[in-house]
Structure 1
């Protein structure tokens, strides 16, 4: 068998093992090779109550589409349109539950299409972020701020953090294998007893590294 053939076989075996690990909730713990599950976060919006009322009608109840990786959070059936100076984008899914301040998360590619320049920020850090127009079935709102590009980050429980040997807000590196493999720098660790272990990247990062979601990636401190 050729070297290339050996590499292909190795990757196939590794991917099959990782699928079994995820399917059976087996925790993979190694001193040198520590792997993190990854999810791809597409463009979406979190709404505060008054904006939800204005866009969908007062007292409107959102319908769950599916659960997402963090406990108690879910994407909704309901969607909105966002509009910037250059263009608009339809079918932006609402993520629940409601928050204290409306937040829109998009990729850099989305931002270029819309004609806005959002900063790369932690979730909830919205001061001075980009303005956007949001259009719902019942109304329209003009946000003076609220649009960001979410930073690369890993959600962890305190127990996870202890196991991986990292601290809250620590910056780590993530190694990606495969045909478009490479290193992701500046990945923020976020620790809370409300979190489930998962790394979140946007669609630009996923496309750049050939990631589909649900892979396991190597954490390097």
Structure 2
């Protein structure tokens, strides 16, 4: 009898709550729909074919090290050294496939160590960015521009964008829980059906917020 009374009470409470939700036109959203996976992007380089020929030799073919979060992209076994006005950083991994323009992505800490003034940019936006020297096993390339600090960004498909209620190039906030909880601002949404849902941050951001790259973070518009 007690079980029946409790069941009736729970049902009455549930119905009352649902009536209140309907009366005030409250939208129910699953908590999981607010969250995006995050990956930590260490320093790396995207190469144009002309620079591959100089650094590694003509007709060189890169060997896959591991797949990355975005479809068709992979880290290569090959690495290069990058050089600024103050110092060098060795073992900078090449990321494939090749691009039309060579681009070096570093963290702010890396830029200070190298002695370069790298701006925060979207990937591919290298006009007026920092100069850098790239040293490979076969040769050396000096770039007058091409070194950037990648902005915090979230890759997502058009379907993902509709689900989150965001648009391409919109700036959003992302909330981080944990021992170093906080809020990341100016996170760029990048929408394309070529993308898989994933947020990319550099090692400076990861260290500041205690992120290892296996977490889900809350997107806040």
TM-score exceeds 0.5: yes
Pairwise CA distance, 1:31: 6.2
Deviations 1:12-32 (A, max 9, x none): xxxxxxxxxxxxxxxxx7269
In the alignment, the residues of structure 2 paired with residue 32 and residue 139 of structure 1 have an alpha-carbon distance, to the nearest angstrom, of 49
Which structure 1 residue ranges, 5 or more long, are not aligned?
A: 1-28
Q: Secondary structure at the match of 2:111?
A: helix
Secondary structure of the residue aligned to 1:204 is helix
Distance in 2, matches of 1:69 and 1:148, equals: 21
1:102 aligns with 2:102: yes
- State how far apart, in whole Å, the 1-side matches of 2:32 and 2:104 are: 37
Matches within 5 A, 1:10-29: none
1:178 to 1:31, Cα distance in 2 relative to 1, 3 A: closer
Give the 3 Å change call, closer, same or farther, for CA 167–81 of structure 1 in structure 2: same
Secondary structure of 1:195's partner?
A: coil
CA distance in 1, matches of 2:121, 2:71: 22
Aligned to 2:82, the other structure's residue is in SS state strand
The 5 A counterparts of 1:24-39 are: 30=30, 34-39=34-39
- Report matched runs for 1:165-180 at 5 Å: 165-180=165-180
Deviation at 1:214, TM superposition (A): 1.8
For 1:41-52, list aligned pairs within 5 A. Answer: 41-52=41-52
Distance 1:217 1:182 in 2: 11
Q: Runs of 5+ in structure 2 lacking a partner?
A: 1-28
Question: C-alpha offsets along residues 184-219 of structure 1, whole Å, 9 cap, x if unaligned?
Answer: 000000000100000000000000000000200000
Distance in 1, matches of 2:190 and 2:34, equals 17
Deviations 1:63-99 (A, max 9, x none): 0000000000000000000000000000000000000
Q: Do the aligned partners of 1:37 and 1:214 also contact (CA within 8 Å) in 2?
A: yes
Q: Does structure 2 conserve the Cα–Cα contact (< 8 Å) formed by 1:33 and 1:219? A: no
SS of the residue corresponding to residue 162 of structure 2 reads helix
Separation (CA, whole Å) in 1 of partners of 2:76 and 2:48: 14
For this pair of structures, how many residues does the alignment match? Answer: 193
Describe the SS at the equivalent of 1:163: helix
